[in-house]
Chain A
Amino acid sequence: MTADILIEKVHGRFGDRILKTEKRSAKRVYVDIYPKDIVDVTRFLFKDLGLRFNIASGVDDFDGLEILYHFSCDPSNFVVTVRALIKDKENPHIDTITTVTRAAWWIEREIHELFGVEFDGNRDLRPLLLPDDWPKGVYPLRKNFIVPKRDSRKT
């Protein structure tokens, strides 16, 4: 399966639920979707086409929080990145994909604590990396988070 065939298949399966597809190079494909479709798209890529879930990453952008889900097609050397833009930065929600693959277990916990995104349906959103006494509502990977200056007089 080449990148072109994958793009065709995604369009064929989802039609106008796909906002945009873009082939940057033979090895990199980007697919923009609405956040509500993420579970269906993941199921299609992971279960039906057998791609490998690489990781998800959050990006704090001007017009919202963007979550990128990266999938690898190992037999034919390309990476598919599914992008879902959550416009509501105050109260960001997206459905969990842990119902499709358990590989997303930790990364959803991580994005939850670092970006403040709620993954609906994921019951295990305990903090993964940050300390237990980290203040609520402070999300360090958001752009408005300023790294506090360390006071050298304190130990």
Chain B
Amino acid sequence: MSNRATIPIGPYHPLQEEPEFWKLIVEGEKVVDVDVRIGYNHRGIEKISEAKSFDQSIFIVERICGICSSSHPIACCEAIEDISGIEVPERARYIRTITQELERLHSHLLWLGLAGHFIGYNTVFMWAWKYREPICDIMETVTGNRQNYGMHKVGGVRRDIEREHVSYILTRMDEVLKQLDMLKGAVLDDPVLHARLKGVGVLTREAAVDYAALGPTARASGVDIDARRDHPYAAYGDVRFNVITQKEGDVFAKTVVRILEMFESASIIRQCLDSMREGPIDSNPKEIPPGEGIGVIEAPRGECFHYVKCDGTNSPVRHKIRAPTYMNFPTFRETVIGETVSDATIIMAAIDPCYCCTERMIVVDGDDKELLKAQDLIRLSQEKTARIKERFNRA
């Protein structure tokens, strides 16, 4: 038809840092068809994992995504532990739960900030990212890194949460909770946001079930699923929390689900710290027998699924990884078509598409550029961790 136009967006991603190509077919302002081309960031991790030992696989999957860098390793550990029924010590299960919930908090805040940014509401962006910092500080204090924590291993965790860290986490979490309260009020009661996000990009319950959508995307459409409750892993069987659902399925409902979920996460972290007992953190499994295992966990964006098949050697025969966005993404056909071009960005962003965002770093000091090598970066990071530790020891 003559009045149809194609708007190519990408392969530089219109919303986030990762490459991806959108083809919007529009009639005037209205999107009538949409297609997407992905794969620009395909690194063949499933194939790489087949050549690595089980210990190394955990490190590889940790690098799938900079945001879900606790979810993939836990899912992978769960899958390998499922092969032969390896028991994980209680304390390690609690530590896994705590890192998972801290990750969910920082991931949801990150999304909230980006969502604000996409609709031109940069105040929300600044707030959310500022309030995300204490979470990253906690992560750095507890695990040594803001991202890519290197915490998890088959049969347990690598590092313990030390006693002095517990009070630090609790103090910082109180601080975060106050700010979350404020943010919740500011976002959910804002009439501008209601007008902008309500009724936009609706995913019906039937479509969510048919596309097997996951996580907040499904829960915002009234599909009551959550792997933490439905397939309890780590310590989720021992803590109480609510699964937040909404009926509307629009972008606003997805925002509500994520914001309310952050409070549940904070509550889970507190329960874990309260009821965590001293004990071993690693069961040191020696051999993985032949067999196949499945790990199912709830990442911030939805259920993360790992399938590992082993033939008795030290590396997997097959390692299938399904990140939640893989299932949530195709729902764009339901949500974008029929909407206007200006809404397309926030609708696509509403599923919280997950991309890894690793970039090389150059510190610019005045006019001079200084190139940092890996060792320098490690040194900088260690110095910063030491500073944080010193600060909270004094407090």
Task: Select from chain A the residue with minimum beta-carbon distance to B333.
Answer: A102
- Number of A-B contacts defined by CB within 8 Å: 81
Query: Measured between alpha carbons, how far is A4 from B230 in the docked complex, in Å?
Result: 18
A140 CB contacts on chain B under 8 angstroms: 44, 47
Is residue B212 contacting chain A, with contact meaning CB distance below 8 A? yes
Are B225 and A131 interface neighbours, CB within 8 A? Answer: no
Are A70 and B330 interface neighbours, CB within 8 A? Answer: no
Are A129 and B212 interface neighbours, CB within 8 A? Answer: no
A147 CB contacts on chain B under 8 angstroms: 44, 47, 51
Binds A, one of B63-71, B87-95, B318-326, B380-388: B318-326
A68 CB contacts on chain B under 8 angstroms: 307, 320
B232 CB contacts on chain A under 8 angstroms: 77
Is residue A88 contacting chain B, with contact meaning CB distance below 8 A? no
Query: Measured between alpha carbons, how far is A143 from B208 in the docked complex, in Å?
Result: 35
Are B38 and A55 interface neighbours, CB within 8 A? Answer: no
Known: A59-B309, A102-B211. A77 touches B294 (CB 8 A): no
Are B320 and A55 interface neighbours, CB within 8 A? Answer: yes
Total chain A interface residues with beta-carbon distance under 8 A: 33
- Looking at B209, B317, B320, the one whose CB has the most chain A CB atoms below 10 A away is B320
Query: Measured between alpha carbons, how far is A103 from B214 in the docked complex, in Å?
Result: 11
Query: Measured between alpha carbons, how far is A60 from B47 in the docked complex, in Å?
Result: 12
- Pick from B82, B294, B317, B327: contact of A103, CB under 8 Å: B327
Task: Select from chain A the residue with minimum beta-carbon distance to B296.
Answer: A79
Are B322 and A55 interface neighbours, CB within 8 A? Answer: yes
Total chain B interface residues with beta-carbon distance under 8 A: 32
Query: Measured between alpha carbons, how far is A140 from B101 in the docked complex, in Å?
Result: 36
Give the Cβ gap from A31 to chain B, nearest Cβ, in Å. Answer: 13
Are A55 and B42 interface neighbours, CB within 8 A? Answer: no
Map CB proximity to B onto A65-88 as digits: 1 under 8 Å, 0 otherwise.
000101010110101010000000
Query: Measured between alpha carbons, how far is A43 from B265 in the docked complex, in Å?
Result: 36
- Overall SS of chain A's interface: mixed
Are B294 and A131 interface neighbours, CB within 8 A? Answer: no
Map CB proximity to A onto B170-214 as digits: 1 under 8 Å, 0 otherwise.
000000000000000000000000000000000000000111100
- Pick from A59, A60, A70, A141: contact of B305, CB under 8 Å: A70
Is residue A122 contacting chain B, with contact meaning CB distance below 8 A? no
Are B322 and A54 interface neighbours, CB within 8 A? Answer: yes
Which chain B residues in 229-276 approach chain A with CB under 8 Å? Answer: 230-232
Q: Which residues of A contact B (CB under 8 A)?
A: 25, 27-28, 52-55, 57, 59-60, 68, 70, 72, 74-75, 77, 79, 81, 101-103, 105-107, 127-131, 140-141, 145, 147
Q: Which residues of B contact A (CB under 8 A)?
A: 38-39, 42, 44, 46-47, 51, 82, 85, 209-212, 225, 230-232, 293-294, 296, 303, 305, 307, 309, 317-318, 320, 322, 326-327, 329-330
10 inter-chain pairs at a CB distance below 8 angstroms, sorted by A residue, are A55-B305, A55-B320, A72-B303, A74-B230, A79-B294, A101-B210, A102-B211, A102-B330, A106-B330, A140-B47
Given A25-B85, A55-B320, A77-B232, 10 new contacts (CB under 8 A): A28-B82, A52-B209, A54-B303, A54-B305, A70-B294, A72-B303, A101-B212, A106-B329, A106-B330, A107-B326
> A-B pairs with the 9 shortest C-beta distances?
A103-B212, A57-B320, A129-B39, A55-B322, A74-B230, A129-B42, A53-B212, A59-B318, A74-B225
